[in-house]
Amino acid sequence: MLPGVSTLGAPLTRALGPKTAKALAAAFGMGTVGDLLRHYPRRYYTRGELTDLSSLREGDHVTVLARVEHVGLHQMYGKGPSAGRAEVIITDDRAKLVLTFFFRNRGGQYIIKPLVPGMVGMFAGTVSRFRTRLQLVHPEYEMLPGAPPNADLTPELAAEFAAEMIPVYPASAKASSWMIARAVRTVLDPLDAGEDPLPAELRERHGLTGRAEAIRAIHRPLDQADLKRARERLKWDEAFLLQAALAQRRLAAAAMPAMPRPHVDGGIAGEFDARLPFTLTAGQVAVGETIAEELACAYPMHRLLQGEVGSGKTVIAIRAMLQVVDAGGQAALLAPTEVLAQQHYRSVTAMLGPLAQAGQLGAAEHATGAALLTGSVGAAARRSALSDVFTGDAGIVIGTHALLEEQVQFSDLGLVVIDEQHRFGVEQRDALRAKAADNRPHVLVMTATPIPRTVAMTVYGDLETSTLTELPAGRSAIATHVVPAADKPHFLERAWERVREEVTKGRQAYVVCPRIGDGPETDDDGEYPGEDDFGSVDMTGGIPRGIGEAGRRQPLAVLDVAATLDAGPLAGLRLGILHGRLHPEEKDRVMREFSAGAIDVLVATTVVEVGVDVPNATVMVIMDAERFGVSQLHQLRGRVGRGSAPGLCLLVTEAQPDTPSRQRLAAVAATLDGFKLSRLDLEQRREGDVLGAAQAGRHSSLRLLRLLADEDLIGLAREEATTLVSTDPQLASTRPSPGSPRTPSSYPCKL
Ligand code: ADP
Ligand code: MG
């Protein structure tokens, strides 16, 4: 090993030599000492506490801590005079496990030489079965230093004895846990961790250890308490750095000028309010006021509005859009799907009536124009829409990702609204935002996938959040039931009867399947490069899919299920089909027919997941329900019970009782509380999925931090980071310098 001090930024080739560095780079993509030191142990063995060998299962790749009990040598006939087999029994003092080594000649026996009965070691390999016994064949192993007779107690050996806890690292075939442990030890001893990124005064306030100490302790903890302190401190690093970056973004955004778009008396907005056929809920009023104030500020609003399906977010968005139009600007609404964009356009123009018919006969005095831009708008209509957007005649512009195209140029874009934010990435949000000329537009993003505050703070940390918690009065309840199709087949028959009954009453139904059933077998529509579902990053998907409980058959497909229903249980009813691979015009036609009641039962993929609003639909049957995520199921069932009649959602599954899948479905059936469900959803996912889905791995640096479990810590880190960044925007010093000109209070509106 090369001597000398190593820093976190030092390349591993220098610190460890090319061979080890290459192996670590290949296995984990590590390049620097810092990368290696952020590869934290997966768990720790406590000396004297052996692995429970009875818990091993065939096929598992395991690293176990056990004691050698017996070494037996056996001759192997017919393979040469000295060919043999060693059978080593290891034990946790209760159960036993066999290690098998083969060798061709006596020299081959060297591999088992260190395996001395009574010594403890770590053994790694894949558990296989030979006759009735579990075994590891040719495991890798490393013996822990026992008390070798007459050994010189070198300081190194002494340190080894002192360590109560032995780290076990995430390993791979090419880089074993102990190879990593050795590499860590090599860089750890001469490490200069550099300046602590957390100010001393902050560390003191929160009782945190120094970083260098924490890095040492997470790899080589003295005891549990030592480890706990280390983890706490390193979590703080992650939370603080993340929140500081987000605070910097907020500050940078706030430093950009925006055109204030204050409320104007006697404009369209006021008239719109007067025409509303219902009273706004208290929540809608409160959020509306916040937004109205922020739009009047000289820096851009960045607000996330979350609220249950049907909580009435759209009306809030329209009111904000009209305030901007009244103030002379334009407002754009970006929807994730063609179906949804059209639905928004229809309802906006209907609600505005003559207020949105500028230039037409009978238009109101202050009227504006509304334009629709989607992939399937015809060439002539598109030209005229583009021109209206360009001249500013269209104050309200609604569309899908077609809005993001280069040809779409605004006269004076003042507000960007993004519906169902969880379907979009940040890039799309930024692309639309970039269309405002000199000034940055105000931004309102909306989501019906409510997420806990810490997650919102972290995933959408550069946004302030508002939440609508109540539904407008007069909503019907949705009853949800699990239909166990495997153990109780007649329940499924009953489900189809229920669908028939509803149709007989003049109602409509959805049947949702995980797969389309033509062409490439994906279980969603993600492969279709067309209009809907484009590059959709779905915060609600990606859940453990069935985990092998529903057997190995293909997930049910729209086309197959529709054919089966048409020929059997639902014969005679008017069935329609909707999925992402249909042509956009076909999709629109099907949706319009369904809305008009010309289709009784719509068999669809999750394209109906967001925003679809057909109040006459009262039943939804979800096939292979265990294949959908918790939040996704919740979103889906939000399609029924939107009118005055109660909704019914049936979750059909072949998952066995008492499996995690069934428990998830039972949880969905048991509550309509979206926040509760989204917590449940998040708990079952790795943080990387959550963050990665939302922001394409921008924060992949999170190793220890758990968004739900560490809520309190994240909240504290956010406060600290915000304070620090407000006084030291560049984080030039780790100590806050008083008297910086850019304190929040120097802005015209509160931050
Ligand atoms: P979401 O939050 O899911 O986007 P919408 O904005 O689509 O919900 O609202 C769902 C339905 O509720 C719409 O038909 C809308 O007109 C209606 N709505 C919105 N606010 C109210 C209210 N305060 N009272 C009654 N109905 C409302
Ligand atoms: Mg909506």
pLDDT digits (tens, 9 = 90+) for 12-66: 999 999 999 999 999 888 999 999 999 999 888 876 677 888 888 888 778 888 8
Q: Which residues pair with 142 in a beta bridge?
A: 122
CA-nearest residue for atom 20, ligand 1, is: 312
Q: Which of 272, 275, 276, 278 best tests ligand 1's pocket when mutated (most atoms within 8 Å of CB)?
A: 278
Nearest Cα to Cα of residue 210 among 193, 224, 225: 193
- What lines the ligand 1 site, CB under 6 Å? 278-281, 284, 307, 309-315, 448, 472, 613
Confidence (pLDDT) at 195: 86
Q: How far is the CA of 400 from the centre of ligand 2 (A)?
A: 14
pLDDT of 550 > 80? The answer is no
Confidence (pLDDT) at 542: 28
pLDDT of 551 > 60? The answer is no
Residue 143 tokens, joined: 């013996």
Q: How far is the CA of 313 from the centre of ligand 2 (A)?
A: 6
Close Cβ partners of 461 (under 8 Å, ≥ 6 residues apart): 242, 243, 246, 247, 249, 250, 718
Pairing of strands 508-512, 478-484: unpaired
CA-nearest residue for atom 26, ligand 1, is: 472
Q: Which atom of ligand 1 is nearest to the CA of 307?
A: 2
Lookup result for tokens 């961790």: 193
Task: Tell me the average pLDDT across 548-571.
Answer: 81
Q: Distances in Å between the alpha carbon of 356 and those of 344, 351, 374, 721?
A: 14, 9, 19, 45
Residue 578 tokens, joined: 């909707």
CA-nearest residue for atom 15, ligand 1, is: 312
Q: How far is the CA of 306 from the centre of ligand 2 (A)?
A: 10
- Could you say which ligand is closest to the alpha carbon of residue 307? 1
CA-nearest residue for atom 5, ligand 1, is: 312
Task: Give the HSE-up count for residue 62: Cα atoms under 13 Å, Cβ half-sphere.
Answer: 24
The end-to-end CA distance of the chain, in Å, is 52
Q: How far is the CA of 310 from the centre of ligand 1 (A)?
A: 5
Q: Which atom of ligand 1 is nearest to the CA of 280?
A: 23
pLDDT of 572 > 80? The answer is yes
Chain centroid offset of residue 99 CA: 41
Measured CA to CA, the distance from residue 95 to residue 51 in angstroms comes to 10
Confidence (pLDDT) at 486: 83
Apex CA 48: angle with CA 45 and CA 51, to 5°? Answer: 50
**DSSP string across 322-334:** HHHHHTT-EEEEE
Cβ atoms within 10 Å of 245's Cβ, excluding its own: 18
Residue 551 tokens, joined: 């057997």
Q: How far is the CA of 311 from the centre of ligand 1 (A)?
A: 6
Q: How far is the CA of 308 from the centre of ligand 2 (A)?
A: 9
Pairing of strands 61-75, 120-130: antiparallel
Instruction: Using the CB atoms, write b or e for 262-295: b if 16+ within 10 Å.
Output: ebbeebbbbbbeeeeeeebbebbeebbebbbebb
Q: Which of 181-190, 386-395, 535-544, 706-715 has the lowest mean pLDDT?
A: 535-544
Q: Which atom of ligand 1 is nearest to the CA of 314?
A: 6
CA-nearest residue for atom 25, ligand 1, is: 472
What's the length of the chain? 751
H or E segment at 88? strand 84-91
Q: How far is the CA of 314 from the centre of ligand 2 (A)?
A: 6
Pairing of strands 508-512, 617-622: parallel
Nearest Cα to Cα of residue 662 among 524, 518, 549, 554: 549
- Could you say which ligand is closest to the alpha carbon of residue 337? 2
Measured CA to CA, the distance from residue 565 to residue 554 in angstroms comes to 18
pLDDT of 390 > 90? The answer is yes
Q: What is the pLDDT of residues 112-161, one digit of tens each?
A: 888 988 888 888 888 999 888 899 999 888 887 655 444 454 556 555 55
- With beta carbons less than 8 A apart as the criterion, state whether 424 and 336 touch: yes
Q: Which of 47-56, 286-295, 534-543, 644-653 has the lowest mean pLDDT?
A: 534-543
- With beta carbons less than 8 A apart as the criterion, state whether 121 and 113 touch: no
Q: How far is the CA of 350 from the centre of ligand 1 (A)?
A: 14
Q: What confidence category does residue 685 fall into, taking pLDDT thresholds of 50, 70 and 90?
A: low
Measured CA to CA, the distance from residue 420 to residue 401 in angstroms comes to 13
Residue 194 tokens, joined: 């550099």
Q: Which of 315, 419, 478 best tests ligand 1's pocket when mutated (most atoms within 8 Å of CB)?
A: 315
Q: What is the 3 state secondary structure string of 132-183?
A: CEEEEECCEEEECCCCCCCCCCCHHHHHHHHCCEEEECCCCCCCCHHHHHHH
Q: Which atom of ligand 1 is nearest to the CA of 615?
A: 14
CA-nearest residue for atom 18, ligand 1, is: 312
Q: How far is the CA of 446 from the centre of ligand 2 (A)?
A: 8
Q: Which of 304, 314, 420, 672 best tests ligand 1's pocket when mutated (most atoms within 8 Å of CB)?
A: 314
Q: Which of 304, 311, 423, 610 best tests ligand 1's pocket when mutated (most atoms within 8 Å of CB)?
A: 311
Q: How far is the CA of 308 from the centre of ligand 1 (A)?
A: 10
- Could you say which ligand is closest to the alpha carbon of residue 469? 1
Q: Which of 211-220, 321-330, 679-688 has the lowest mean pLDDT?
A: 679-688
Q: How far is the CA of 708 from the centre of ligand 1 (A)?
A: 30
pLDDT of 386 > 90? The answer is yes
Q: Distances in Å between the alpha carbon of 575 and those of 288, 451, 615, 640?
A: 41, 35, 18, 17
- Could you say which ligand is closest to the alpha carbon of residue 611? 2
Measured CA to CA, the distance from residue 560 to residue 517 in angstroms comes to 7
Percent of the chain whose predicted confidence (pLDDT) is above 70: 81
Q: How far is the CA of 281 from the centre of ligand 1 (A)?
A: 10
Residue 434 tokens, joined: 């970039």
Measured CA to CA, the distance from residue 515 to residue 513 in angstroms comes to 6
Q: What is the pLDDT of residues 65-95, one digit of tens each?
A: 888 999 988 877 777 777 888 999 999 888 8
Confidence (pLDDT) at 733: 53
Task: Tell me the average pLDDT across 224-246.
Answer: 90
Task: Tell me the average pLDDT across 481-501.
Answer: 92
Confidence (pLDDT) at 157: 52
Residue 38 tokens, joined: 């952020």
Confidence (pLDDT) at 575: 97
Q: Where are the beta strands (DSSP E) in 595-654?
A: 601-604, 617-622, 647-653
CA-nearest residue for atom 24, ligand 1, is: 472
Q: Which atom of ligand 1 is nearest to the CA of 468?
A: 2
Nearest Cα to Cα of residue 121 among 81, 101, 76, 91: 91
Q: How far is the CA of 540 from the centre of ligand 2 (A)?
A: 16
Q: Is 617 exposed, middle or buried (0-12, 13-18, 19+ CB in 10 A)?
A: buried
Q: Which residues pair with 90 in a beta bridge?
A: 68, 97
Neighbours of ion ligand 2 (CB under 5 A): 611
Task: Tell me the average pLDDT across 171-188.
Answer: 86
- Could you say which ligand is closest to the alpha carbon of residue 643? 1
Q: Which atom of ligand 1 is nearest to the CA of 311?
A: 2
pLDDT of 247 > 90? The answer is no
CA-nearest residue for atom 19, ligand 1, is: 312
